[in-house]
């Protein structure tokens, strides 16, 4: 491991490291901390042992950590929360133990958290802040007894084989996206909540091997997608619901070992459940059994294969390092890695597909609209519904049959082409769904009557009611922390455009006039670089009719960095609290910020929007200014990546959270940009 990681440390641009099933053994070496560009680390199925080393703190770009099927020991370190961009953390099947750190609640980007098959114990920390969490697997540990506090956007929840006892009943009814729930083999002693059977998305439900009691009724309803239900070995009475008794081959239902009266599988007499349930309610302690200990016995299984695998690995290491010597300019390698191995992108794209299906944004599934629907929604394109106009079409506001407000873009098509020519664009369009994007709901084609080529394309988007970011900043004068939150949301929107689908959308030409705010004042990017629009040159501003001269970028362009420049301009406006409408404004403000960064904190504040002078912590201000100046660098290579921007803004927000960022504390030193 030492030799291997020393070789990798010579590749400062390394982003993806996947060393799976190679028979690697020993602890993770300290040099792992030198791989500072790493975004994805997958070391599954080796024989790595020891604790998770603190040097990993250096890997601040990490988004995915997979250490499954190893022999790591010790606790999950509290500093795990400093990986603010972390989306996947998977530590299945190790020998980790202790309490789960409460700092988990700060991993706001986490989507997948898998900690099953370890020796964790105690209560699960409050995870209700993890609004992006979709998969939580804590099976085969000793966690409990209180059911965890979670966000209701969860899709998969596995708590089987733990020591949970209570608290499940109140919470789960609102989990409208939950597809899989497995709480089997715990110690639950509470009434079974029949509404679990009818959760809208539920497909897999297992409560087997607990002490759930209560009466089921024949006429209870079930979710439409329910495929697997296991109610066995509880204290349920009454009748098995008819919707579980269809004898449907595609549905598997187990209910053995209860006291149900109308089933075929073996049941206890009614008195059994009644008495037990009573006993449970009156003195729960009496029923407590000694569960078999869930300690995992680690077997050494590594044999002759080791040396061979070891040789292979060293071979790989050698090739890598030779590369590094030949090409000391790491930029090349870095970019190659991005193109050839975009595994984090795949992961995201996959999840986004899934999310699109589920509609977690509260949006209906993407679909084809009928021309009649479009006409009805816009009152046959009545001028009173016209909200924007550009060089190749109009934007109308509309109301669909279900009272949903939408914005409809009409694109007049110049080239005569059949509908097939648009399949790719439409596919891409259907993926444009994100919480910080004005998301696409569907489309409609209108045809030329002579030759059935497409004459007009209508694109249906969600309607975003609360005006533009420019109006928000200059009108409502939001407080400092809200400004940072808004900036973070803009950056997240850009990050999604660039990495949320393949290929990403770059050069989105964003401005404060096409960043919109929804009803709860969260950001939604509008007018981004739509695939269909790329063919026609200019852009429509969906809601803005601002005629002001817009800022143009320096001519040197690098795709992914031109969005960062745009972001810099937006950030200028957010901080300064006034419109930035010309290139000259930008360079003046940028110079001012550069001076401000070096000045003392009183001078620094003078540059800000006077509305926030009182409340903003100096460290936060300084960090945001640095982000801004960096983003506006003339040379695209000097601009930070959007991930860097996000990381630094998160830092600025944290300083904010601490309240008095001015007081010296460990957190108050400014983070550094990697300059590549
Ligand atoms: C790793 O980084 C440390 C300091 O950050 C440095 O002293 C050390 O030489 C580096 N190791 C390698 C193998 O590059
Ligand atoms: C890590 O590697 C394993 C084995 O190849 C694979 O199944 C898993 O999907 C990988 N995880 C990620 C996040 O890529
Ligand atoms: C790690 O495993 C090796 C053998 O594979 C053993 O010699 C060493 O003591 C183990 N270290 C720890 C910390 O368990
Ligand atoms: C757990 O990991 C070990 C290797 O450490 C592996 O042999 C075993 O198959 C894994 N167990 C499961 C259930 O995946
Ligand atoms: C959740 O987030 C809010 C606001 O960011 C914060 O006040 C609260 O303390 C957090 N809760 C936990 C459990 O971290
Ligand atoms: C879960 O229940 C607790 C109280 O039992 C409540 O504080 C919490 O808000 C609930 N969470 C959800 C997501 O409903
Ligand atoms: C289900 O049946 C019970 C009696 O068996 C009745 O009280 C209840 O109203 C019924 N519920 C529905 C939704 O029909
Ligand atoms: C069987 O179940 C599936 C899914 O739960 C459902 O789509 C199908 O209509 C059912 N068939 C019958 C005959 O009930
Ligand atoms: C989980 O733990 C139980 C014992 O508590 C064991 O029988 C089972 O094989 C474990 N499952 C996995 C996947 O390790």
- Residue nearest atom 10 of ligand 8, based on CA coordinates: 248
Q: Is the pLDDT of residue 136 over 90?
A: yes
Q: Quick check: is 136 in a domain? A: yes
Both 17 and 126 in one domain: the answer is yes
- Residue nearest atom 6 of ligand 9, based on CA coordinates: 294
Domain containing residue 376: CATH number: 3.30.200.20
Both 43 and 178 in one domain: the answer is no
pLDDT in the model for residue 627 = 93
The ligand placed nearest to the CA atom of residue 6 is 1
Q: 20-29, 44-53, 211-220, 339-348: which has the minimum mean pLDDT?
A: 339-348
pTM exceeds 0.95: no
Q: Quick check: is 318 in a domain? A: no
Closest CA relative to residue 487, chosen from 457, 447, 525: 525
Q: 259-268, 421-430, 454-463, 655-664: which has the minimum mean pLDDT?
A: 655-664
Q: Quick check: is 296 in a domain? A: no
Both 10 and 97 in one domain: the answer is yes
The ligand placed nearest to the CA atom of residue 147 is 6
The CA distances from residue 414 to 294, 450, 454, in Å, are 67, 15, 9
| Phi/psi-derived region of residue 544, left when phi > 0, alpha when psi is between -120 and 50, beta in every other case | beta
Q: Quick check: is 308 in a domain? A: no
The set of protein residues with a Cβ atom below 6 angstroms from ligand 1 is: 6, 9, 31, 34
Compute CA 331 distance to the chain's CA centroid, rounded to the nearest angstrom.
Answer: 28
Both 97 and 173 in one domain: the answer is no
pLDDT in the model for residue 17 = 93
Domain containing residue 51: CATH number: 3.80.10.10
Q: What is the DSSP string of 186-212?
A: S---SB--GGGGG-TT--EEE--SS--
Contact 522, 368 (CB under 8 A): no
Contact 232, 259 (CB under 8 A): no
Both 481 and 453 in one domain: the answer is no
Both 114 and 179 in one domain: the answer is no
Q: Quick check: is 176 in a domain? A: yes
pLDDT in the model for residue 391 = 61
Domain count, the chain: 4
Q: Quick check: is 299 in a domain? A: no
The CB of 69 under 6 Å from ligand 4? The reply is yes
List the domain range (segments joined by +) for residue 454: 330-462
CA-CA distance, 542 to 388, in Å (whole number)? 5
Listed in sequence order, the residues at least 6 apart from 508 whose beta carbon sits closer than 8 Å to its beta carbon are 494, 497, 525, 528, 529, 563, 566
Q: Tell me the CA–centroid distance for residue 348 and ligand 2, in Å.
A: 14
pLDDT in the model for residue 365 = 80
Q: Tell me the CA–centroid distance for residue 314 and ligand 3, in Å.
A: 20
Q: Is the pLDDT of residue 161 over 90?
A: yes
Tens-digit pLDDT profile for residues 389-412 = 766 578 899 998 777 889 998 888
pLDDT band at 619 (very low <50, low <70, confident <90, very high): confident
Q: Quick check: is 295 in a domain? A: no
Ligand 1 atom nearest 5 alpha carbon? 13
Both 553 and 435 in one domain: the answer is no
Domain termination residue (choose one: 442, 462, 482): 462
Both 228 and 116 in one domain: the answer is no
Q: Which two tokens stand for residue 34?
A: 């030198």
The ligand placed nearest to the CA atom of residue 31 is 1
Q: Tell me the CA–centroid distance for residue 251 and ligand 8, in Å.
A: 8
Q: What is the DSSP string of 399-426?
A: E-TTS-EEEEEEEE--S---GGGGHHHH
Ligand 1 atom nearest 10 alpha carbon? 14
Tens-digit pLDDT profile for residues 525-539 = 987 777 676 554 433
Both 12 and 90 in one domain: the answer is yes
Domain termination residue (choose one: 98, 126, 157): 157
Closest CA relative to residue 24, chosen from 39, 51, 3: 3
Which letter does DSSP use for residue 475 in this model? I
Domain termination residue (choose one: 438, 462, 486): 462
CA-CA distance, 459 to 440, in Å (whole number)? 7
Tens-digit pLDDT profile for residues 289-329 = 333 332 222 222 222 333 333 333 333 333 333 333 333 32
Contact 136, 124 (CB under 8 A): no
pLDDT in the model for residue 75 = 94
pLDDT band at 278 (very low <50, low <70, confident <90, very high): low
Both 485 and 615 in one domain: the answer is yes
Both 115 and 263 in one domain: the answer is no
Both 432 and 351 in one domain: the answer is yes
């Amino acid at each position: 491991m030492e030799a291997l990681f020393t070789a990798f440390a010579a590749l400062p641009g390394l982003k993806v490291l996947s060393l799976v099933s190679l028979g690697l053994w020993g602890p993770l070496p300290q040099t792992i901390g030198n791989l500072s560009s790493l975004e994805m680390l997958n070391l599954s199925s080796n024989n790595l042992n020891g604790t998770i080393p603190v040097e990993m703190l250096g890997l601040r770009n990490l988004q995915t950590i997979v250490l499954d099927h190893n022999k790591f020991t010790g606790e999950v370190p509290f500093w795990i929360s400093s990986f603010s961009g972390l989306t996947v953390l998977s530590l299945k099947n190790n020998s980790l133990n202790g309490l789960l750190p409460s700092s988990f609640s700060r991993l706001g980007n986490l989507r997948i958290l898998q900690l099953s098959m370890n020796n964790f114990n105690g209560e699960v920390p409050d995870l209700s802040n993890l609004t992006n969490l979709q998969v939580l697997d804590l099976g085969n540990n000793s966690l409990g007894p209180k059911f965890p506090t979670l966000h209701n956007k969860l899709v998969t929840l596995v708590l089987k084989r733990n020591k949970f006892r209570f608290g499940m009943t109140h919470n789960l009814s609102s989990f409208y996206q939950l597809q899989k729930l497995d709480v089997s083999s715990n110690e639950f002693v509470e009434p079974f909540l029949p509404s679990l059977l009818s959760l809208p998305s539920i497909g897999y439900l297992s409560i087997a091997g607990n002490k759930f009691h209560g009466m089921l009724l024949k006429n209870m309803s079930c979710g439409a997608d329910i495929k697997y239900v296991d109610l066995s070995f509880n204290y349920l009475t009454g009748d098995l619901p008819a919707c579980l008794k269809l004898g449907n081959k595609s549905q598997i239902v187990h209910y053995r070992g209860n006291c149900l009266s109308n089933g075929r599988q073996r049941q206890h007499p009614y008195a059994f459940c009644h008495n037990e349930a009573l006993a449970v309610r009156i003195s729960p302690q009496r029923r407590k059994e000694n569960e078999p200990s869930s300690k995992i016995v680690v077997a050494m299984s590594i044999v002759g294969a080791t040396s061979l695998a070891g040789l292979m690995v060293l071979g790989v290491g050698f090739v890598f390092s030779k590369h590094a010597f030949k090409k000391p300019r790491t930029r090349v390698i870095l970019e190659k890695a991005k193109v050839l191995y975009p595994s984090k992108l795949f992961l995201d794209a996959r999840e986004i597909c899934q999310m699109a299906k589920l509609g977690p944004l509260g949006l209906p599934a993407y679909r084809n609209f009928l021309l009649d629907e479009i006409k009805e929604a816009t009152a046959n394109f009545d001028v009173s519904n016209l909200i924007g106009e550009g060089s190749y079409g109009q934007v109308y506001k509309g109301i669909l049959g279900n009272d949903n407000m939408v914005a409809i873009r009409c694109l007049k098509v110049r080239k005569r082409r059949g509908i097939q020519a648009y399949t790719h664009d439409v596919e891409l369009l259907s993926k444009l769904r994100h919480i910080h994007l004005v998301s696409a709901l569907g489309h409609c084609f209108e045809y030329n009557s002579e030759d059935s080529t497409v004459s007009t394309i209508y694109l249906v988007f969600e309607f975003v009611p609360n005006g533009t970011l420019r109006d928000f900043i200059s009108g409502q004068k939001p407080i400092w922390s809200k400004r940072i939150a808004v900036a973070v949301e803009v950056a997240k929107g850009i990050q999604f455009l660039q990495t949320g689908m393949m290929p990403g959308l770059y050069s989105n030409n964003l401005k404060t006039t096409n960043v919109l705010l929804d009803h709860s004042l969260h950001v939604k990017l509008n007018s981004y670089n739509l695939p269909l629009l790329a063919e026609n040159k200019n852009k429509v501003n969906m809601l803005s009719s601002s005629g002001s001269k817009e800022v143009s970028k320096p001519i040197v362009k690098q795709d992914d960095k031109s969005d960062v420049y745009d972001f810099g301009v937006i950030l200028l406006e957010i901080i300064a609290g006034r419109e930035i409408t010309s290139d000259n404004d930008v360079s003046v403000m940028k110079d001012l910020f550069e001076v401000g960064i070096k000045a003392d904190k009183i001078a620094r504040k003078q540059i800000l929007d006077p509305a926030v002078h009182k409340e903003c912590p100096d460290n936060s201000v300084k960090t945001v200014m640095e982000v801004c100046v960096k983003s506006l660098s003339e040379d695209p290579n000097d601009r930070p990546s959007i991930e860097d921007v996000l990381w630094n803004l998160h830092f600025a927000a944290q300083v904010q959270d601490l309240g008095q960022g001015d007081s010296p504390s460990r957190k108050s030193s400014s983070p550094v940009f990697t300059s590549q």
